[in-house]
Amino acid sequence: MKSTLCVVVFCSVLAAYYIYIPLPHTISEPWKLMMLDATFRGVQHLGNLAHSLGLSHHIKVLNFAVTFFGMLSPTSSEGVRVTDTVFDGVQVRVFEATRGSNSELKRSVVYIHGGGWSLGSARMQSYDYLCRKMAEDLNAVVVSVDYRLAPEVHFPEQYNDAYLATKQFLLPEVLAKYSVDPNRVAVSGDSAGGNLAAAVSQQLALDSSVTNKPKLQSLIYPVLQALDFNTPSYQQNRDVPILYRPLMVKFWLEYLNGDPSFIHSLLVNNHTSLDLSQVATSREKVNWTLLLPSTLKKHYKPVVQATGTPKVIQEVPALLDVRAAPLIADEDVLKLLPQTYVLTCEHDVLRDDGIMYARRLEQAGIRVTHDHYEDGFHGCMIFGLWPTYFSIGIRTMHNYIKWLDQNL
């Protein structure tokens, strides 16, 4: 009996040690987040073990765990018709609100899911729920893009999938098929999907063959640059779940098909050192000392190396490609973009990516709504239903859809 009790106590202490991490006091529902993070870290450890043993790619293990219990078939409801189809070779899930007459033109949102360009699906419960809710609340047609993922494909294929599907949907005959008002279409996405949405919006603005341009773009805690991994938000939130700083660097290297050995160079900004002349112009476009308010700069200092590792840019030139890093686009391109919504979270390494983009868009004359959550963390908006229910998830989702309703 005593030995059993000792084992139970030992296991409980071990579990508590693994689960507990110090979190900022302002973060939403910290114990829930600790449990979620412990699960996520556990799966990452299993994935790394499987990878080291040659059993499977660590990203595949992580994606299997993320999607296994939450993949849904296209199930229609009383107010929303759901179908899976293909737009220009790309899988999409379409949510059509059935309220109103067939002749009534509806608003529409093209939604691109997040997941570090490696995880998730339009068929996941969380994204199915979000897009279904958007379609119903907005009486709209929502197209959720199921783009291909790393490690099977790398940049620019994820971007190409998102662009081709969106461009196909914007064709006059396709919009007419779905009874969509061509003047009321938004492009949106979260995290890596926000990255793709921003890149797609830029290219649509430049593409003269696209006659129907989006009215809005809405970006949810987007990742927008890979030149500075030491912005104040990267420094402040490096140890805050669920998106740790090294994990974001791993996602970037996987997306851009870079050598994993470059992780340290990116973490210390060796790839953007002052001796690399080809980086100078792009580096200025992510200069947070000029783009962030003093309330966010706080005591943090820029990390700029005098000499660096030229091999990184030579082998991963996509780090300087605007299709991968929309924040470094020229102002002439930004001036062409539609009205924009940017959602950021205080406890997120990507906070400053979104804020800097919002600032650059404003400087280019674009009307921007910046919605910031002091208690938010990365990924919170998709955690709005059981078993990962967070009040911040409900709040961010509600306000995001409310903004779309008022502006689309």
Q: Which residues are catalytic?
A: 191, 348, 378
Place of tokens 């991490």: 21
C-alpha atoms less than 13 angstroms from C-alpha of 268 in its C-beta half-sphere: 9
Residue 348 tokens read as 């997120």
Query: What is the Cα Rg of the chain in Å?
Result: 21
Assigned token pair, 400? 């995001």
Distance CA 172, CA 221 (A): 31
Helices and strands per DSSP (H, E), number in the chain: 17, 10
Q: Measured between alpha carbons, how far apart are the two ends of the chain, in Å? A: 66
Cα separation, 176 vs 132, in Å, equals 21
For residue 96 the two structure tokens come to 């059509």
Q: Which long-range contacts (CB under 8 A, 24 or more apart) does 232-237 make?
A: 232/288, 232/292, 232/296, 232/297, 232/298, 232/300, 232/352, 233/296, 233/348, 233/349, 233/350, 233/351, 233/352, 233/353, 234/349, 234/352, 235/300, 236/298, 236/300, 237/347, 237/348, 237/349, 237/351
Q: Six-digit token pair at 327?
A: 């924040």
Is residue 199 within 8 Å of residue 169, measured between CB atoms? no
Which tokens hold the place of 201? 């919006």
Cα–Cα distance for residue pair 232/45, rounded to 1 Å: 28
For residue 141, which of 131, 149, 154 has the smallest C-alpha distance? 131
How far is residue 348's CA from residue 245's CA, in Å, rounded to a whole number? 9
Cβ count near 124 (within 10 Å): 22
3-state percent breakdown (helix, strand, coil) of the chain, nearest 5? 45, 15, 35
